[in-house]
Amino acid sequence: GAVVSQHPSRVICKSGTSVKIECRSLDFQATTMFWYRQFPKQSLMLMATSNEGSKATYEQGVEKDKFLINHASLTLSTLTVTSAHPEDSSFYICSAQVTSGGGVGDEQFFGPGTRLTVL
Amino acid sequence: QKEVEQDPGPLSVPEGAIVSLNCTYSNSAFQYFMWYRQYSRKGPELLMYTYSSGNKEDGRFTAQVDKSSKYISLFIRDSQPSDSATYLCAMIAGGYQKVTFGTGTKLQVIP
């Protein structure tokens, strides 16, 4: 099956610093990548949808200036948490979609997640 | 009211038991239904995918969808300790890419 990697798997940073998380599709090209956030005992919440070469579409309530998304190639998307604060501590998961042209229902393959802890 | 409701558990069963996991939803626009398995500190892994009412079977797993009741289920037969994980239901409305997840049910299969 398709493999999606994330780096780093875990990061601890000081409040006020910025953190970059990479999401790569290793053996396929993904025109669309998604970024989710998962708090303990809660469901995955979609933060933004990223299409290669265009600006990301953010979900309501997600600050686009705080969570910068860059999708520069068909195999790489990055999420930068700027001026991180303790409340940003969470599990960030990306997914990459293999687009068959069928649109809705194309499977999303999830990365292993990045655990962010902001002190 | 959440769009997707799922009992968080935890659910503990003995090895070999039949497990029933359920979700209800309120958005009648949901047309595609998935079940994901998520091991601790890992990303979700797709188990089953269906878009029609009825049953879909894959090995020890059976996904059931009842659109009239807005209710979906995942059954695991002959449960194994390796099935211990959190199971998330997920849905997509027709014409959209956005996946809406349930909170997940934590399952523990005891040897």
Average of per-residue pLDDT across A103-111: 71
Query: Which pLDDT does position B15 carry in this prediction?
Result: 97
> What residues have CB less than 8 Å from A38, skipping those under 6 apart?
A44, A45, A90, A91, A92, A93, A113
**Which residue in the set B6, B8, B42 is minimally distant from A112, CB to CB?**
B42
Average of per-residue pLDDT across B24-39: 93
Residue B32: its chain A contacts at CB < 8 A? Answer: 104-105
Phi, psi of B83 (to 5 degrees): -80, -10
Q: Kindly report, residue by residue over B83-97, the tens digit of the pLDDT.
A: 999 999 999 887 667
Query: For the purposes of burial, counting CB atoms within 10 Å of the CB of A81, is it exposed (0-12), middle (13-18) or buried (19 or more)?
Result: buried
Q: How many C-beta atoms lie closer than 10 Å to residue A15's C-beta?
A: 12
Give just the sign of the alpha carbon dihedral A65, A22, A117, B90: positive
- Rounded to the nearest 10°, the torsion over CA A53, A59, A62, A65 is 30
Average of per-residue pLDDT across B45-73: 92
Using CA coordinates, name the residue in chain B closest to A94. Answer: B43
Query: Which pLDDT does position A24 carry in this prediction?
Result: 95
Give just the sign of the alpha carbon dihedral A116, B43, A54, B92: negative
Cα A106 to Cα A100: distance, rounded to the nearest angstrom: 7
Inter-chain contact B51–A105, Cβ cutoff 8 Å? yes
Distances (CA, A) of A38 to A12, A77, B38, B41: 17, 18, 12, 11
**Which residue in the set A46, A111, A113 is minimally distant from B41, CB to CB?**
A113
Query: Which pLDDT does position A102 carry in this prediction?
Result: 46
Give the pLDDT band (50/70/90) at residue B25.
very high
Cα B102 to Cα B83: distance, rounded to the nearest angstrom: 19
Give the pLDDT band (50/70/90) at residue B23.
very high
For chain B, which residues lie within 8 Å of any Cβ of chain A, measuring from their own Cβ?
Answer: 4, 6, 8, 31-32, 36, 41-46, 49, 51, 88, 92, 94-99, 101-104
In this model, does residue B40 exceed pLDDT 80?
yes
Which of the listed ranges A24-28, B38-42, B68-72 does the model predict with the highest average pLDDT? B68-72
Inter-chain contact A32–B97, Cβ cutoff 8 Å? yes
**Which residue in the set B4, B6, B99 is minimally distant from A108, CB to CB?**
B99
Inter-chain contact B99–A46, Cβ cutoff 8 Å? yes
A14 touches chain B (CB under 8 A): no
Closest chain A C-alpha to B1 CA, distance in angstroms: 15
Q: Kindly report, residue by residue over A1-32, the tens digit of the pLDDT.
A: 678 999 999 999 999 999 999 999 998 888 88
Cα B19 to Cα B76: distance, rounded to the nearest angstrom: 5
Cβ contact A107:A19 at 8 Å: no
Query: Which pLDDT does position A99 carry in this prediction?
Result: 63
Give just the sign of the alpha carbon dihedral A78, A28, A73, B94: negative
Phi, psi of A13 (to 5 degrees): -140, 165
Residue B104: its chain A contacts at CB < 8 A? Answer: 43
> What residues have CB less than 8 Å from B80, skipping those under 6 apart?
B15, B109
Query: Which pLDDT does position B49 carry in this prediction?
Result: 87
Q: Kindly report, residue by residue over A39-94, the tens digit of the pLDDT.
A: 887 888 999 999 888 889 999 999 999 999 998 888 999 999 999 999 999 999 99
